Structure 1
């Protein structure tokens, strides 16, 4: 599963969701975690209640199961939840991303709490599903690659 972290320094979970200029994304499973990418945002990102800035972030996080933040507004949290992304507030702005990742791996190897089990049930579109989507589009008059 992919887990995101709002950060200013790529070490700590120290950025407000709405005003975060960077969000680090990691892949986490029962064996380990690995860095995937840093999503970068610019423009007017002040903590001012302007909800228009949320859409690009929510869209960029669509493959994530959880996003850790230092703080988040109620509207932003509700919009994330609506998109099946669970926002979690960090214990402090000094909390390190790697500490959370290590604890997540340990938790996945044990008995995850109900909130994490629910987050893990987020549906994923598998490659086989993509083939089915392509085939169904073809039957409705869409185009398909020509056979080689």
Structure 2
């Protein structure tokens, strides 16, 4: 699954989604994490209410399942969720490497329902009739 991190320094989740200078994208599985790409954005990002600054970010991370942020505004959160991306707010400037390790640990166990849903992003939905019980 692909995961994005809103960052100013490319090392920590330390940025508001709309103001992030970078969105670092990783491919994450229970076995490891691989850096995919860093999307860099200009310096003119701190204008409140400028919804146009969100479009390139949403386009860049259209195929990620989760985006970790230090903060996110209500309208941006709605647009992220509408894009099928689960926003996760961190409490402080957490190192990306630590978040990746924790996420891998959760993936090795039994992920919570929201994460199981995020894992399905981009996968074809199927239904196994053999596993479905017939109720009479």
Q: TM-score, normalised by structure 2?
A: 0.87
Deviations 1:8-60 (A, max 9, x none): 11111001110111111111011100111110111531141211110110010
Specify whether residues 111 and 47 from structure 1 end up closer, same or farther in structure 2 by C-alpha distance, changes over 3 A only.
Answer: farther
Aligned to 2:54: 54
Matches within 5 A, 1:1-148: 1-42=1-42, 44-93=44-93, 95-124=94-123
Q: CA RMSD in A?
A: 1.3
Structure exhibiting the larger radius of gyration computed from Cα positions: 1
Which is richer in strand?
Answer: 2
SS in 1 for 2:18: coil
Q: Over residues 72-98 of structure 1, what are the superposed CA-to-partner deviations in whole Å (9 max), with x where a residue is unaligned?
A: 0010011010010111101212x1111
Judging changes above 3 Å, is the alpha-carbon distance between structure 1 residues 107 and 47 closer, same or farther for their aligned structure 2 residues?
farther
Shift of 1:6: 0.7
Q: Within 2, Cα distance between the matches of 1:111 and 1:46? A: 39
In 2: Cα distance, 1:47 partner to 1:78 partner: 18
Deviates more, 1:51-60 or 1:34-43: 34-43
TM-score, normalised by the number of residues in structure 1:
0.80
More helix, by proportion:
1
Which runs of 4 or more aligned residues in structure 1 lie more than 4 Å from their structure 2 counterparts after TM superposition?
Answer: none
In structure 2, what is the Cα distance between the partners aligned to 1:48 and 1:57? 15
Structure 1 unaligned spans of 5+: 126-148
